[in-house]
Structures are given as structure tokens and as C-alpha cells.
Amino acid sequence: MLLTLADGPLRFSGLRQLIGSVTPKVLTSTLRTLERDGLVQRTVYAQVPVRVDYELTDIGHSLLGPMEILRKWSESHASKVLQARDEFDARDDLIRS
């Protein structure tokens, strides 16, 4: 979510498009949590139809670096983690059967 907002403000619909598989309910709840934590700023424009923008605050921007490092780690270790899960589940099935 934070990485999605890295390049600038987005509207709710724009965020949904970029993130993909997320329900509006979950997206709203996540945005609210990020707003409460001071990482995302929500701006309502009094126009018809009403426009709502979401953008990173300074604190949100400061978290981009650490998040990017974590994203890179995930990318390079995803296959190993998935393999470990498969092996664990196979052992687990064996014990339970």
C-alpha cells in the first residue's frame, strides 16, 4: 500500500486498480489504519462528485526505504518460503494421518 503511494497521491479507485486483489472493505480499513498512524493523509475535495485523495505523509515517506528493503527480501526469498511451507504441510499431513 505504502509503496503504491510512493509516486504521488491516488484516489480510492486508482489504489484499487494498482493493488488488485483487495475488497473495498479491506482497502478502506487498511487506509484508515494508515491514516490513524499518520502514514497516509486523506484529503476530501468539496466538488461534485466528491473527490478523495490519499497520499503519503512525511512519516509515510520515511518508511518507504525500509519497506522497499523488505519487498526486495520477499521477492528473492519467496520461492524458498513457499517450498518450506509445502514441506512443513507434507510432514504435518503425515503426522496427522
Contact positions vs a copy of itself (CB under 8 A): 35-39, 59, 62-63, 65-66, 69-70, 73, 77, 80-81, 83-85, 87-89
Which value, in Å, is the radius of gyration of the alpha carbons in the chain? 18
Closest approach of Cβ 53 to a copy of itself, in Å?
17
Quick one: which of 94, 63, 15, 74 has its CA closest to 23? 15
Q: How far is the CB of 17 from a copy of itself (least distance, A)?
A: 27
Considering the complex, state which of residue 11 and residue 72 has its C-beta at the smaller distance from a copy of itself: 72
Burial pattern 19-41, b for ≥16 Cβ within 10 A else e, equals eeeeeeeebeeebeebeeeebbb
Q: How far is the CB of 80 from a copy of itself (least distance, A)?
A: 5
